[in-house]
């Protein structure tokens, strides 16, 4: 099982480090926790981890420097790193991704989101190591954008196409459910707040239908409160992105979800 993996948590805040470690251990992961970049790099010389959760802002050696050193070392180069920070600045996100981070989590974090992204990072990294041509496969992926605001809908469509995917649009929940019956989609970007059939109702109907329950759904919303995120995750959402979204992070999340979907499909085929 994916939970039978070892994780390294790097955070100078004792409370954050302790809470995250305990919650991950409850999920079945083997967790090591350190309070500085220097200690993390020292530990990495003696122990291999399946994934690293790395705080950005730390005294002395910050997360950027630690990430650079991890990716410069052949022993840890292929280890996925998820950056964790309270910084919402898009330049911080882009910088982390360009330096080799697999994803970026904002504090205070939602554990449903944390678990989902760890799971995907572990799964998709395994897929990359199998040397499949993910990029070629993903260019054929169909993404359905469900958004009632025309400006937001057009913007998302442009960003999805720029990322190399095929983009379809629905302006409300009713149109989305009709589109699902008539076309095959690999992923939904689903607005939460819509008149009539809202995003939660679309999500519920999809997950109650055997034909559509396997399609991953990324919720897109201006609401960033824990209750809204929890509700979406409990009803089967794969991930949650807040508006205004960052284009680089959006592409990273879409690629991560699609890679995970393809990996599962490959494993299901191999089992037959």
* 141 and 267 assigned to the same domain: yes
* 55 and 168 assigned to the same domain: no
Q: Is 141 within a domain?
A: yes
Tell me the pLDDT tens digit for each residue of 20-43: 999 999 988 999 999 999 999 999
Give the residue from 129, 155, 173 where a domain finishes. 129
pLDDT-derived band at 225, boundaries 50, 70, 90: confident
219 pLDDT more than 70: yes
104 pLDDT more than 60: yes
Give the residue from 77, 97, 129 where a domain finishes. 129
* 151 and 121 assigned to the same domain: no
Q: Is 73 within a domain?
A: yes
44 pLDDT more than 80: yes
State how far the alpha carbon of 140 is from the alpha carbons of 29, 31, 131, 132, 167, in Å. Answer: 34, 38, 18, 15, 10
Cβ atoms within 10 Å of 234's Cβ, excluding its own: 11
User: Strand order in 166-170's β-sheet?
Assistant: 166-170, 142-146, 187-191, 217-221, 239-242
The pLDDT, as a whole number, for residue 179 is 97
Domain count, the chain: 2
Q: What percent of the chain has pLDDT over 90?
A: 65
197 pLDDT more than 90: yes
Mean pLDDT in the chain?
A: 89
pLDDT-derived band at 128, boundaries 50, 70, 90: very low
* 145 and 121 assigned to the same domain: no
Distance between CA atoms of 170 and 174, rounded to whole angstroms?
A: 8
* 152 and 110 assigned to the same domain: no
pLDDT-derived band at 175, boundaries 50, 70, 90: very high
Q: Is 187 within a domain?
A: yes
The pLDDT, as a whole number, for residue 137 is 62
Give the residue from 129, 152, 177 where a domain finishes. 129
* 248 and 167 assigned to the same domain: yes
* 214 and 99 assigned to the same domain: no
156 pLDDT more than 70: yes
Q: Is 240 within a domain?
A: yes
pLDDT-derived band at 266, boundaries 50, 70, 90: low
* 68 and 151 assigned to the same domain: no
Q: Tell whether the torsion through CA atoms of 193, 194, 196 and 200 is positive or negative.
A: negative
Distance between CA atoms of 83 and 101, rounded to whole angstroms?
A: 7
124 pLDDT more than 50: yes
* 70 and 163 assigned to the same domain: no
Q: Which domain range does residue 143 map to?
A: 136-271
* 222 and 113 assigned to the same domain: no
**Omega of the bond leading into 253 within 30 degrees of 0 (cis):** no
The pLDDT, as a whole number, for residue 24 is 93
Distance between CA atoms of 28 and 45, rounded to whole angstroms?
A: 24
2 pLDDT more than 80: no
CA angle 48, 257, 111 (to 5 degrees): 65
The pLDDT, as a whole number, for residue 173 is 97
Tell me the pLDDT tens digit for each residue of 229-248: 999 999 999 999 988 887 88
134 pLDDT more than 80: no
* 185 and 267 assigned to the same domain: yes
The pLDDT, as a whole number, for residue 96 is 92
Q: Is 1 within a domain?
A: no
Q: Is 37 within a domain?
A: yes
Average pLDDT over residues 5-16: 94
Tell me the pLDDT tens digit for each residue of 50-93: 999 999 999 999 999 999 999 999 989 989 999 999 887 778 88
Q: Is 119 within a domain?
A: yes
The pLDDT, as a whole number, for residue 133 is 54
* 125 and 152 assigned to the same domain: no
Report phi then psi at 190, rounded to 5.
-115, 120
CATH of the domain at 257: 3.40.50.2300
Q: Is 244 within a domain?
A: yes
pLDDT-derived band at 126, boundaries 50, 70, 90: low
With a CB cutoff of 8 Å and minimum separation 6, the contacts of 229 are 110, 112, 113, 240
Sequence-ordered alpha helix ranges (H) in the chain: 14-26, 37-44, 63-72, 90-98, 111-129, 134-138, 150-162, 173-182, 199-207, 226-234, 247-271
């Amino acid at each position: 099982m994916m939970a039978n993996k070892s994780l390294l948590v790097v955070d100078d805040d004792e409370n954050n480090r302790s809470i995250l470690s305990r919650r991950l251990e409850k999920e079945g992961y083997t967790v090591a926790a350190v309070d500085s970049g220097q200690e993390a790099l020292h530990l990495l010389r003696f122990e291999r981890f399946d994934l690293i959760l790395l705080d950005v802002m730390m005294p002395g050696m910050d997360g950027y420097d630690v990430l650079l050193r991890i990716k410069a070392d052949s022993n840890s180069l292929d280890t996925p790193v998820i950056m964790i920070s309270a910084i919402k600045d898009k330049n911080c996100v882009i910088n982390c991704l360009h330096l080799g981070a697999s994803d970026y989590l904002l504090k205070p974090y939602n554990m449903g989101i944390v678990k989902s992204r760890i799971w995907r990072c572990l799964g998709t990294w395994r897929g990359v190591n199998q040397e499949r041509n993910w990029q070629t496969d993903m260019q054929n992926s169909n993404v359905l954008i469900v958004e009632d605001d025309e400006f937001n809908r057009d913007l998302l469509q442009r960003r999805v196409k720029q990322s190399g995917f095929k983009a379809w649009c629905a302006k409300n929940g009713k149109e989305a459910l009709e589109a699902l019956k008539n076309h095959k989609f690999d992923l939904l970007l689903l607005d939460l707040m819509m008149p009539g059939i809202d995003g939660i109702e679309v999500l519920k109907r999809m997950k109650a239908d055997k034909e559509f329950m396997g399609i991953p759904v990324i919720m897109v919303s201006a609401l960033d409160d824990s209750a809204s995120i929890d509700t979406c995750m409990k009803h089967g959402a794969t991930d949650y992105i807040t508006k205004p979204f960052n284009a680089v992070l959006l592409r990273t999340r879409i690629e991560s979800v699609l890679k995970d979907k393809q990996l599962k499909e490959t494993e299901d085929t191999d089992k037959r």
